[in-house]
Structure 1
Amino acid sequence: MANNDEIDDDSPYRVHSRREIISLLNNMLEKNQLLSLLIKGGDESIITSILEIDEAANALIIDAAPSASLNENIVTSNRIGFEALYNNIRITFTADKAYKVEYQNRPALKVGIPASLVRLQRREYFRIATPIAKPLRCTFRITQPDGSFITIITLLNNISGGGVGITDEKKILPTTTGVIYEDCQLELADNTLVSVKLQIRDCKEFKMATGKTVNRFGCEFINLSRAVEAAVQRFITKLEREQNAKASGMM
């Protein structure tokens, strides 16, 4: 799945007006809008919110991550992504660097006010991370040249109405982009399984903290049925509610 913050500068979805950007960020601040902060190409994410907008210093102050190790990963990242669903419009922007600061005697992070942002009024582009504590699976059933089948089990990293991000820990799934797999089973919450058709859009090798390397894929849904699309959207809504509840201290 493509990162929509990389939409061309002349795209009608990209906003360059500083006044408009600051106005939008102020509205999000006033409504305590939650944002997903993504690093490592979206492989790690936290839920945060804007605490203050300092126009003079060209800075946004945002909530810090809940752990010191996550904060360290954020401040050592060279590219930080932000995503939010504000009034059913997907907002994305990036920052090159984050810095540790204090805000009202608590840890916070500072990033630059974005020079531009992308505003898409399509919910299907909003990507949300799946629970790490209870990993979900995406299973591929692949036909071999001799007519036999092999089953490849991958882990679900994130999901949107447009596709999924997955990890192949055993590096079995072919890395060729553009291939469409007709027979895939996607595991959602509460032991719900849905059948989907997936196209491989990108693949990157990723080195884990243990030193082990895995393959991470971005996959696009192909011709989702209405029933499956509804199940995916219900699952995304459930994840959003759970993450919002955790961020607000209700879970």
Structure 2
Amino acid sequence: MHSYLQDADLENWHDFEVESRKEILNLLRGIGEKNQLIRMLVRGEADVCVTSILEVDADNNAVILDCSVNPEQNARILAAPAISYETTLDKIRILFRSERAESCVYEGSPAFKIALPASLIRLQRREFYRMNTPVGNPVRVLIPFPAEFGGGANSFPLADISCGGIAILDNKLLLGEAIGREYADCRIELPEIGQITTGLQVRNCTDLTLLNNKTNRRLGCQFTDIPRSALNAVQRYITKLERERNARIAGLA
């Protein structure tokens, strides 16, 4: 699947293959509903056509695409043995492939029909890729308080984690809401991976009102001075969460 990726900085991207039919249908329908443009790569970057999804036909395992205004380009697309597709949805690049496209008519106009892809790749810059952490048995971060806050250390549950940082829940409002405040030597116990130590800087703050009218504060924190070994541990933990999530989706499909 990766042979048509041209990015020199591919290690800066986080990707995983989606093989759940249900999730593929949902992603393609989302692309169609948002009228996201799709680049069709007939022979790599040498021949690119911009199209969009007109319909996702689950019953016939087909995707209907708009065709080009250029008849010669349409002929090249119909003659191509394989076509690569690239688009975006909510800052995530979506990549997939099809074998030969067929011509068809959709709502009275010419269109292309391809088979529903058996898999696709979601590709997202690592620092933006966030995984929700478990709610029932939350991952916790131990934050040492400076002397002006009374010293000691307090433990907070995580809401999500990425390679760039974490979101924590401060339901006792102990941390204040100062954007830019830094905390050193914070310890996070990653289940089945181990403990990491990193600095944290508060980057954003959101107050949430729960159903019982209690307030919970969500703080988005960026890792600072994080060792490479700790970052590798975070990536392994994200991969672990992702596998568990994909297994749940496959079980529901």
Shorter-chain TM-score: which interval? 0.5 to 0.7
TM-superposed CA distance for 1:139, in Å, is 1.4
Structure 1 distance, partners of 2:23, 2:146, is 43
| 1:234 equivalenced with 2:236 (yes/no) | yes
Q: 2:137 aligns with which of 134, 137, 141?
A: 134
Q: 1:228 to 1:86 in 2, by over 3 A?
A: farther
Count of aligned residue pairs for this structure pair: 161
Q: 1:216 aligns with which of 215, 218, 227?
A: 218
Summarize the alignment of residues 70-109 of structure 1 with structure 2, pairs less than 5 Å apart.
82=90, 84=92, 86=94
Summarize the alignment of residues 27-66 of structure 1 with structure 2, pairs less than 5 Å apart.
32=21, 34=23, 49-50=26-27, 52=29
Q: Deviations over 1:191-216 (max 9, x none)?
A: 72211100000111111122110111
Counterpart position of 2:171: 169
Q: 1:124 aligns with which of 127, 131, 134?
A: 127
AA matched with 1:201: R
The answer to whether the 8 Å contact 1:50/1:60 transfers is no
Q: Deviations over 1:229-251 (max 9, x none)?
A: 11000000000110011011089
Counterpart position of 1:143: 146
The answer to whether the 8 Å contact 2:143/2:153 transfers is yes
Structure 1 stretches lacking a partner, 5+ long? 1-27, 36-47, 62-80, 88-118
Counterpart secondary structure, 1:169:
coil
Greater Cα shift, 150-159 or 227-236: 150-159
Q: TM-score, normalised by structure 1?
A: 0.54
Q: Deviation above 6 Å: which 4+ runs of structure 1?
A: 28-31
Structure 1 distance, partners of 2:144, 2:34, is 53
Q: TM-score, normalised by structure 2?
A: 0.54
Note the aligned Cα RMSD (angstroms).
3.6
AA matched with 1:235: Y
Q: 1:170 to 1:234 in 2, by over 3 A?
A: same
Q: 2:155 aligns with which of 135, 153, 158?
A: 153
| 1:184 equivalenced with 2:186 (yes/no) | yes
TM-superposed CA distance for 1:55, in Å, is 5.2
Q: 1:142 to 1:60 in 2, by over 3 A?
A: farther
The answer to whether the 8 Å contact 1:29/1:49 transfers is no
Q: Deviations over 1:131-179 (max 9, x none)?
A: 1121111111012149x62212211000100000110111111210101
Counterpart secondary structure, 1:206:
strand
AA matched with 1:233: Q
Structure 1 distance, partners of 2:123, 2:93, is 9
Structure 2 stretches lacking a partner, 5+ long? 1-16, 36-53, 57-88, 96-121
The answer to whether the 8 Å contact 1:200/1:217 transfers is yes
The answer to whether the 8 Å contact 2:91/2:124 transfers is no
Structure 2 distance, partners of 1:226, 1:214, is 32
Q: 1:207 to 1:222 in 2, by over 3 A?
A: same
Counterpart secondary structure, 1:236:
helix
TM-superposed CA distance for 1:188, in Å, is 1.1
The answer to whether the 8 Å contact 2:133/2:161 transfers is yes
AA matched with 2:141: C
Structure 2 distance, partners of 1:84, 1:189, is 27
Structure 2 distance, partners of 1:161, 1:219, is 11
